[in-house]
Amino acid sequence: MIDFEKFTKYSKPGPRYTSYPTALEFDSKFGFSELKKEFENQDSSRPLSLYFHLPFCRSACYFCGCNVVYTSKEDKKERYIEYLEKEMNILSSLIDTKREVIQLHFGGGTPTFFSASQLKRVIDLIKSTFSNFTKDAEISCEIDPRFFTKEHMDVLKDGGFNRISFGVQDFDPKVQEAVHRVQSYEVTKNAIEIARDGGVKSVNIDLIYGLPYQSFETFKKTLDLAVSLDGDRYAVFNYAHVPWMKKTMRKIDETTLPDPKVKLEILKYTIDFFENNGYKMVGMDHFAKPDDELFLAIEKGELHRNFQGYTTKGGADLVGIGLTSIGEGKDYYVQNHKDMKEYEKAIDSGILPVERGIKLNEDDVLRNHVIMELMSNFKLDIKRVEKEFGIDFKEYFADGLSGLKEFEAEELVTVSDDFITVSPTGTMLIRNIAMNFDAYLKKIPEEKRRFSKTV
């Protein structure tokens, strides 16, 4: 039995490390000219991973932390597609669009809040810009099951989409009402059937724990219903409550949120539940069938983490297109404007709509490697890091290692001369463990850290 009470002290604000340095460190000093330089120096033999942000939703789900535009106006969507086209035209003059594309992802918002014919236009524009998709390219779309028809699926199928990720979050009616996301089991089931009938080989289902009115008992039922849908992957996210950043989250009554002890109990149950149902844990919040490439990647130590979560596709340059999209190269991150007017203004003046970014220094690159390895593979090969980066690990990270002492004493990690190894219970606190190697976090007093809680 795990004493969860003991670990509630780790419920602290902390990054989710979809990047390191985190987006808080991105700065307007890194703008379009800096990105242009990066593109000029980029190795064209590196493949591309493309992310398109399709930001529109009909109404707000109160838990949502994504960058979303609420509208039902058709002309706004049409206008957005025109700007995506213009953005791709500018991009074509800056990068080699014949580079191999190994990944394409539509994120949102709700990509299928576009009509099927609008979605087809977006896909056709992409395919006419980027001509070299590899045969086994991973092409995926996030879908709200309430906005998904066979017509959408036909368009996605023609576009080669082979992965669909469905947003569910929770099946309990009281929870659904509290977060303004009422979605019956039948609606989700039908949507998954449409995808399966359309030949989609991998279906992912998103759930969130930590939502209002959730309890151990209610989440157990949600998991039973979720697994009956036979997803290939499940993402079970820890609810990131950041009402100072997201206005709609202020509609959530904080007194109804489960406390850290309950959240840890739910998480532990979730991990065991999926293992007992034939899935394997991948990273801190994913579960996959054992024959899934995500899982196989862990066996080979090749799991990577980026803005879209966990992926097998390392070594690609990520290009983000659309409002607020994030791009990532070997040693930089870049983000597009969040404000639609600014986004359009930049494109109208003939440049990419970059708002901010960061060029990584040597220390950033090293810490990025350490943090991402821990977040992805729960293990760090110290000797390999020493060889690759020419450092004495124990000396360089004396501070981080001393921070780990507490975790070692509680058997959450072991540190030998060769490896840092996270224990099964430690995986539940992986953000806290990784935080020890974050140079920026140390400079911010704990009460001023504007991240969601780790537990």
Ligand X SMILES: C[S@@+](CC[C@H](N)C(=O)[O-])C[C@H]1O[C@@H](n2cnc3c(N)ncnc32)[C@H](O)[C@@H]1O
Choosing from 87, 172, 206, 355, the residue that interacts with ligand X (CB under 6 A) is 206
Strand partners, 383: none
Q: Does 237 bind ligand X (CB under 6 A)?
A: yes
> Of residues 13, 14, 55, 108, which one binds ligand X by CB under 6 A?
108
* Residue-wise DSSP of 139-198: EEEEE-GGG--HHHHHHHHHTT--EEEEEEE---HHHHHHTT----HHHHHHHHHHHHHT
Contact (CB, 8 A) for 25 and 440: yes
Contact between 66 and ligand X by CB under 6 A: the answer reads yes
Which stretches within 259-328 are classed as H helix? Answer: 260-276, 293-299
For residue 443, give the 3-state DSSP assignment.
helix
Interaction of residue 239 with ligand X, rule CB under 6 A? yes
With contacts defined by CB under 6 A, name the span among 119-127, 232-240, 325-333, 358-366 that binds ligand X: 232-240
Q: Which stretch binds ligand X (CB under 6 A): 29-37, 105-113, 367-375, 421-429?
A: 105-113
Q: Which residue is nearest to ligand X (CB)?
A: 167
Assess contact for 191 and 143: CB atoms under 8 A.
yes
Minimum Å distance from CB 67 to ligand X? 9
For 239-251, what is the HEC assignment? Answer: CCCCCCCCHHHHH
Q: Binding of ligand X at residue 357 (CB under 6 A)?
A: no
**Minimum Å distance from CB 381 to ligand X?**
30
Q: Which is nearer to ligand X, 159 or 400 (CB)?
A: 159
For the chain, helix (H) and strand (E) counts, in that order, are 16, 19
219 interacts with ligand X by CB under 6 A: no
Q: Which of 49, 129, 140, 169 binds ligand X (CB under 6 A)?
A: 169
x/- mask, ligand X, residues 123-152, rule CB under 6 A, reads: -------------------x-x--------
The amino acid present at 36, given as its one-letter code, is K
What tokens does 150 get? Answer: 């066979």
Kindly state whether residue 167 participates in binding ligand X, applying the rule CB under 6 A: yes
63 CB neighbour count, 10 Å cutoff = 25
Residue 143 beta carbon to ligand X: minimum distance, rounded to whole angstroms: 6
Helix 150-158 and helix 116-129, axial crossing angle in degrees, nearest 10: 10
DSSP letter at 259?
P
Interacting residue with ligand X among 22, 110, 311, 368 (CB under 6 A)? 110
Q: Which is nearer to ligand X, 262 or 401 (CB)?
A: 262
Interface residue list for ligand X (CB under 6 A)? 57, 61, 63-66, 108-110, 142, 144, 167, 169, 206, 208, 237, 239-240
